[in-house]
Amino acid sequence: MRAVCWYGKGDVRVETVPDPSILNPRDAIVRVTLTAICGSDLHIYNGHIPGMERGDILGHEFMGEVVEVGAQVRNLKRGDRVVVPFTICCGKCYFCQSQQWSLCDNTNPNAPALHKLYGASGAGLFGYSHLYGGYAGGQSQFVRVPFAGVAPIVVDNDLTDEQVLFLSDILPTGFMAADNCNIHAGDVVAVWGCGPVGQFAIRSAYLLGAEKVIAIDDVPERLRLARERSGAITINCATTDVMAELNDLTAGRGPDSCIDAVGMEAHGYGLAYAYDRTKQALMMETDRPGVLRQAIAACRKGGTLSIPGVYGGFIDNVPIGSAFAKGLTLRMGQTHVPRYLPTLMRRIREHEIDPTFIISHRTRLEDAPEAYKVFNQDKGACTKVVMKPS
Amino acid sequence: MAGAGLIRRGLTGKCEIYTLLGMRSLPSGKPVPYELGVRARAAVTINQPREKVFAFLRQFENLPRVMRHLKSVEENGEGRSHWVAEGPMGKSVCWDAEILNEERDRLIAWKSLPGSQVDQAGSLRFHDAPGGRGTEVRAELQYNPPAGVVGAYVARFFDREPEQEIVADFQRLKQYLETGEIASTEDQSHGRTEPEKKVLPAMEEAMA
């Protein structure tokens, strides 16, 4: 089969590789009909994710048709059309059984390594380094899906691939970011980052009852999308004093909730940004926390900071004193995808959310190297790439 | 539990994944005085009833399913058993053990028999986890390396961290008992034309 493989920083290629096969009794093989490049794939592309090996197959946003099931797969059958969540979940551990799916105890074969790094391991992830299990990803014609009867959701034929594909990651990720804000009537929510997750977080915050959502980014096209498609008030952080603007928009209160939908590769301005870039380049700081600092500083007393953006390591100069003084709640982590699938499926069907609006590029899997390049370089023109394996 | 991994690693002097160690100050390559030995302990919570967890572990023949370097265990009656693990240079290492103490669903304690290549003793204790969260299993092991060639291999193990070895086998035990299978990405598709150096051991080396 053909698959998108990673060979190093900035080096992805489409290669012919062996077809996947059933390795464990609860596996299934899925023929991929549509897949996407995630913003977090760019963290890999740019060499920020440790634990990658040359030749690893990328991709954790994909869907397709079940073509083979293992002996112990109970609730999926050949021919089922499924969206596959990026977190692999066993369904049997304490965490799966308490709806904290991304913290699954049992799906990361390399859990001891991650345990050493973080003190614990969560779920194995598709196409996201050997620290998360080294599972082959779904930017390929076929993919092995472990524990296939647990997290994947069967979709009806009246919904198109493009409508449901983003249930695999970014739609529930944006939704959980808003859900974590515990939104009440009258709340103002500020969202840093207007990539796909930010866009869905804005939409979700309104759906969950926010009065006003403020979107912050430095890419005019993405801000326009947030304004036009989701009704956000926008702040261009390249040209505007964000703190002053937030202060004004909330009449001194600060946003009730702040969402950091940027994560560890935050771009920024000024001295603090130069400091973070230098330290990151010297490997003294792995993540650049510019957005996190600003969100903590901006958030109102007693407010919530929700972090869907990915962090992988260490950060400096985070104003924890401010967070403490204001009694903030911090919520973060990988998305508990299956928790949100039924409600999001319903909202898609009832046209409360049309996730297709973020798609800017439709291409063939064969064109993945170019698509990665464009997505990485042109944040204005490129919000989301979906790819069809032929 | 986990003894085979410890012993194999001791014999080969090679740590499969865990090189992030150096907690013990004994110089490597030097036999450890008998009375010092090494002690290791680890614990895991398994989301299954205590009877089930105990029954699986008490059936020693089951252990090669979850212990990475154990080849086979044979029970010979009267609490005695014969263990075979992967040894250095493709060879096997074996030993005999006897159960010293057993309380159903609560405790198993054992010791290797005189004349074994590796002198070891250990116990597994079982408790109900609070809040209906399954079973807590606690392992304690003690090893005394023997003299001779095997002993030299084993001794090289002692400046490493044996608990990590138990933790890894416990993780597999938990996966097997909770889900019925052990998560794996061995033999799956990739775009490597020649064998690549595994990235995780190198990373952990760097972290050490």
How many residue pairs bridge chain A and chain B with CB atoms within 8 Å of each other?
122
Q: What is the pLDDT along chain A (390 residues), one digit of tens a residue?
A: 999 999 999 999 999 999 999 999 999 999 999 999 999 999 899 988 889 999 999 999 999 999 999 999 999 999 999 999 999 999 999 999 999 999 999 999 999 888 888 889 999 999 999 999 999 999 999 999 999 999 999 999 999 999 999 999 999 999 999 999 999 999 999 999 999 999 999 999 999 999 999 999 999 999 999 999 999 999 999 999 999 999 999 999 999 999 999 987 666 666 666 667 776 776 666 667 789 999 999 999 999 999 998 888 888 888 999 999 999 999 999 999 999 999 999 999 999 999 999 999 999 999 999 999 999 999 889 999 999 998
Q: Do A92 and B164 touch (CB under 8 A)?
A: no
Strands B80-86 and B70-77, how do they pair? antiparallel
Question: What average pLDDT score do residues B32-56 get?
Answer: 82
Structural domain boundaries, residue B173: 3-27+36-181
Residues of chain B numbered 33-72 and touching chain A (CB < 8 Å): 45, 47
**A191-246 pLDDT per residue, tens:** 999 999 999 999 999 999 999 999 999 999 999 999 999 999 999 999 999 999 99
CB contact under 8 Å between B183 and A115, yes or no, is no
Instruction: Identify whether the C-beta of residue A163 lies closer than 8 Å to the C-beta of residue A355.
Output: yes
End-of-domain residue from the set A332, A350, A365: A332
Please provide the DSSP assignment of chain B as one string.
Answer: --HHHHHHHHHHT--SS------S-SPTTSPPPTTT-EEEEEEEEESS-HHHHHHHHHSGGGGGGTSTTEEEEEEEETTEEEEEEE-GGG-EEEEEEEEEEEETTTEEEEEEPTT-SSEEEEEEEEEEPGGG--EEEEEEEEEE--SHHHHHHHHHGGGS-HHHHHHHHHHHHHHHHHHSS----TT-----SSPPPPHHHHHHHHH-
The pLDDT of residue B165 is 78
| Predicted pLDDT at A28 | 98
* Same domain (yes/no): A152, A198: no
Question: Which residue of B lies nearest to A58 if distances are taken between CA atoms?
Answer: B190
How far is B20 from B41, CA to CA, in rounded Å?
Answer: 17
User: Smallest CA–CA separation between B181 and chain A, in Å?
Assistant: 7
Q: What is the predicted ipTM?
A: 0.89
Nearest to A94 among B47, B179, B190 (CB): B47
Residues A194 and A148 in one domain: no
Does residue B83 lie within any of the structural domains?
A: yes
Cβ–Cβ < 8 Å for B101, B109: yes
Residue B26 confidence (pLDDT): 37
Identify the residue whose tokens are 């138990």.
B166
Residues A164, A180, single domain; the answer is: no
Smallest Cβ distance to A25: which of B167, B181, B189? B181
Query: Does A248 contact B at CB distance below 8 Å?
Result: no
Whether B205 is covered by a domain: the verdict is no
Distance from CA of B125 to the nearest CA of A (A): 21
**Would residue B203 count as lying in a domain?**
no
B125 within some domain: yes
Write the CB contacts of A325 (distance below 8 Å, at least 6 apart in sequence).
none
Q: Could you read off the pLDDT of B105-117 as tens digits, one per residue?
A: 999 999 989 877 7
pLDDT of residue B205: 67
What is the average pLDDT value for chain A, to the nearest integer? 94
Examine residue B197 and state whether it is found in any structural domain, yes or no: no
On whether both A238 and A320 belong to a single domain, the answer is yes
Q: What is the pLDDT of residue A286?
A: 66
Check whether residue A191 and residue A310 sit in a common domain: yes
Whether residues A165 and A184 fall in one domain: no
Residues 164-183 of A with CB under 8 A from B: none
Interchain CB distance below 8 Å, A94 and B198: no
**CATH label of the domain that carries residue A203:** 3.40.50.720
What's residue B166's pLDDT?
Answer: 85
Total structural domains within chain A = 2
Residue B198, domain member (yes or no): no
How many Cβ atoms are within 10 Å of A206's Cβ, its own excluded?
18
Task: Give chain A's radius of gyration (CA, Å).
Answer: 20
Three-state DSSP at A301 gives coil
Q: Is residue B40 part of a domain?
A: yes
CB-nearest partner of A106 from B20, B179, B188: B179
B153-180 CB burial, b ≥16 within 10 A, e <16:
bbbbbbbbbbbbbbbbbbbbbbbbbbbe
Between CA B110 and CA A255 the distance in angstroms is: 61
The domain that holds B56 is classified in CATH as: 3.30.530.20
Give the pairing type, strands A188-192 and A257-260: parallel
**Tally of domains in chain B:** 1
Please write the tens of the pLDDT for every residue from A54-69: 999 999 999 999 999 9
Q: What is the pLDDT of residue B37?
A: 66
Q: Does residue B152 fall inside a structural domain?
A: yes
Interface test with A, best of B177, B190, B194, B197 (most A CBs within 10 A): B190
Q: Are residues A235 and A272 part of one domain?
A: yes
Q: Are A267 and A294 contacting, i.e. CB atoms less than 8 angstroms apart?
A: no
CATH (domain of A368): 3.90.180.10
If asked whether residues A111 and A175 sit together in one domain, one would say no
**Tokens 């301005």 sit on residue:** A269
pLDDT at B156: 52
Q: Which of A24, A94, A113 lies at the smallest CB-CB distance from B200? A: A113
Show which of A296, A312, A332 is a domain's final residue: A332
Q: Do A325 and A365 share a structural domain?
A: no
Q: Please tell me whether residues A81 and A215 are part of one structural domain.
A: no
Nearest to A112 among B164, B185, B190 (CB): B164
Record: contact A25-B164, CB cut-off 8 A: no
Q: Which domain holds residue A53?
A: 2-169+335-388
Q: Judged by CB atoms within 8 Å, which residues 86-105 of B form the interface with A?
A: none
Residue B85 has pLDDT above 90, yes or no: no
Residues A132 and A95 placed together within one structural domain of the fold = yes
